Amino acid sequence: MNGLILHEVGHAYQAEFGVLHRNITVPADYYLWKLFIEGVAMVFEQETVGKTDYYHQDKNGWKTWCEENLHFIATSFEADRHIMTKESQRYFGDLVHFDGYPDTGYYLGTRFVRFLMNTSGFDEIIHFDVETVNTYFQKYLSE
């Protein structure tokens, strides 16, 4: 429960010191933004706990499966985000599953934000716009 609370504080931090909400009308960009802000909140949670490999979702081999299938998750998300709807998305939430696992979007988002932190500071990243996020996500996918 503490991890989830810290996650929500991460969203509040981005809202207060960066930009959390954007007026996004293109569904593919909306889901990419969701991936990004959930990744920001997860990294905030990890940094607060002091463990870069901490995931409050890690139960029943979840993290190990996500680590082993990161490329699969990333390429599937990229393909899906262009056709995703609220009803069909399978990456965010305990009640939806990607290949049998919930919350895989949180794992992918975390790994993506960690990738961004190789070249930008956290407080810079939380100001990115969706176009910048998209550009970097394409770079992330190509690595």
Sign of the four-CA dihedral 33, 125, 72, 51 = negative
Task: Report the alpha-carbon distance of residue 116 to residue 86 in Å, rounded.
Answer: 27
Mean pLDDT, rounded, of the chain: 96
According to the model, what pLDDT value does residue 1 have?
61
Quickly state the pLDDT bin for 46 (edges 50, 70, 90).
very high
3-state secondary structure of 103: coil
Q: CA-based angle 74:80:81, to the nearest 5?
A: 90
Q: Which amino acid is at 12?
A: A
The tens digit of pLDDT for each residue in 54-107 reads 999 999 999 999 999 999 999 999 999 999 999 999 999 889 999 999 999 999
According to the model, what pLDDT value does residue 4 have?
79
pTM of the model: 0.95
According to the model, what pLDDT value does residue 70 have?
98
3-state secondary structure of 98: strand
